[in-house]
Chains A and B, each alone.
Chain A
């Protein structure tokens, strides 16, 4: 037992348990800053949804809750595979770590790809905030249809619907929050993919053992946190007023 790999225990720690504890605590300290980071975005979302409930409900109804549900399932499965990768690392099975992390990377790229498809759909419909900044503070106040769907793809059916009903004010704010928060979330996922590739490289060198699997554990924490952010994004952006 004592003849373990000498470099596993870094010299500043008394023992492996303290090392593991320190690494876990450090990651959580980072994740708390992430809670505050995404929390600020959710806070802004809450204030503006409180001010413009109809606009948020209407903006949400323009999104496909089915696509969001699909991505939610993809992300939950990826969280499970990461948890299983950590489990394999705890058992010292580096091959299992690689297998589950490859599945996770595939799921993450699937998620980001679907997200890109969704962005494209919304931009084509003319709802992206940068396509509507010319409309002023209240998007619905101006009855002139010229500003709607000003993007290169013309006016989509949804944009015309927004025009026809003047009650749907300020959906620009809804989609600003939507693009900002989901794109930052997707960026976190891409960073996670990079971390998984790094872990796979370590696992190929058989670096993980029951005594040392801290990198897998810590990156797993990061990934589960990204999952939690999406757990809140999904009902708040896709399910306010979904259309069957």
Chain B
């Protein structure tokens, strides 16, 4: 499985005579499919076993192991079940580009969400979850958290005169 058999390579060669019905497609042997299937089952068992490792011991490695195994499984399926290993370079590039673009989306999104709260500026709305990690004094104290749910009901129906002012502050951020 580590080496590509010559019969599985691209059958059309530049010097070949143009015969529109000469068509030899790679046939992946059944044995390969069965071996990949066995590998997928073993990896699935590994995923389950890794999930039961004590979380205190491995911490964040839990999700890294889970996603790593899932990625190995996905690569096996793509290469062998989906025949990308035997496909033309053009197909390979298209396949890779799809996942590259996904990782760009993932990376750029988390440059935002992961880093919010690292700095005191623009730390989001008052009840933002990451605010709990920021040990910096609030330069402009917002309204108390207890008031926030009432404003969602209707800032315009505030009983006090200051209600609408606080609502605008809470909605617009600081």
CA distance A9 to B78 in the complex (A): 27
Query: Is residue B106 within 8 Å, beta carbon to beta carbon, of the partner chain?
Result: yes
CA distance A210 to B23 in the complex (A): 8
Neighbour of A29 across the interface among B33, B77, B94, CB < 8 A: B94
A239/B51 in contact, CB under 8 A: yes
Query: Is residue B88 within 8 Å, beta carbon to beta carbon, of the partner chain?
Result: yes
A235/B70 in contact, CB under 8 A: yes
A84/B25 in contact, CB under 8 A: no
Point out the residues of chain A lying under 8 angstroms from B40, CB to CB.
76, 79
Chain B interface size range = 35 or more
Point out the residues of chain A lying under 8 angstroms from B74, CB to CB.
228, 231-232
Neighbour of A83 across the interface among B25, B33, B55, B87, CB < 8 A: B33
A32/B21 in contact, CB under 8 A: no
**Contact (A235, B51) CB under 8 Å given A76-B41, A210-B25:** yes
Point out the residues of chain A lying under 8 angstroms from B82, CB to CB.
220-221, 224-225
Point out the residues of chain A lying under 8 angstroms from B94, CB to CB.
25, 28-29, 32
B41/A4 in contact, CB under 8 A: no
Task: Closest B residue to A60 by CB, please name it.
Answer: B51
Please name 20 further chain A to chain B contacts, defined as beta carbons within 8 Å, in addition to the given A15-B23, A73-B44, sorted by A numbering.
A4-B21, A9-B21, A16-B21, A20-B23, A20-B25, A21-B91, A25-B94, A28-B98, A32-B97, A47-B109, A65-B51, A76-B41, A84-B33, A87-B27, A87-B28, A211-B21, A228-B77, A231-B74, A234-B44, A234-B47
Residues of B within 8 A of A (CB): 11-12, 18-23, 25, 27-28, 30, 33-34, 37, 40-41, 44, 47-48, 51-52, 55, 62-63, 66-67, 69-70, 73-74, 77-78, 80-83, 87-88, 90-91, 94-95, 97-99, 101-102, 105-106, 109-110, 113-114, 129-130, 149
